[in-house]
């Protein structure tokens, strides 16, 4: 069983497994299944908006597609969530991503 199949199997058993859904989104991205990857990241944002790694990865995905406005929206939302969690590292990472957009 490959990594993708393993992650799908885990999510069949527990569709609310945030880390596995995040790993699935990254796995789809790594095999150039960008729409599936984006769909999983968006699902994560809806179901687990406090899961900070999603904001950076989804923002980078939008950036790579040339959708700077959407990347900025995602980074900004993530910055707000990171601030509310007092997560300085993620806050700095997201601010740097925003700064690098321009």
Closest by Cα among 29, 24, 33 to 2: 24
Is residue 74 within 8 A of residue 59, CB to CB? The reply is yes
- Return phi, psi of residue 40, to 5°: -70, -40
Residue with tokens 């069983």: 1
- Where helices occur in 1-102 by DSSP H, the ranges are 3-13, 18-30, 34-47, 53-64, 68-84, 88-99
Q: Quote the pTM value.
A: 0.92
Confidence check: pLDDT of 1 > 80? no
| pLDDT tens digits for range 61-91 | 999 999 999 999 999 999 999 999 999 999 9
Ordered domains of the chain (ranges, CATH):
1-48 (no CATH), 49-102 (1.25.40.10)
Residue with tokens 């989804």: 58
Average pLDDT over residues 85-101: 96
| pLDDT tens digits for range 10-53 | 999 998 999 999 999 999 999 999 999 999 999 999 999 999 99
């Amino acid at each position: 069983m490959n990594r993708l199949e393993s992650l799908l199997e885990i999510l069949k058993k527990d569709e609310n497994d945030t880390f596995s859904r995040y790993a699935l989104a990254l796995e789809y991205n790594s095999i150039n299944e960008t729409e599936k990857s984006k769909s999983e990241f968006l699902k994560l944002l809806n179901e687990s908006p406090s899961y900070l790694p999603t904001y950076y990865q989804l923002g980078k995905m939008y950036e790579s597609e040339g959708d700077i406005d959407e990347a900025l929206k995602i980074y900004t939302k993530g910055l707000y969530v990171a601030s509310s969690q007092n997560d300085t590292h993620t806050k700095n990472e997201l601010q740097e991503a925003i700064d690098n957009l321009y």
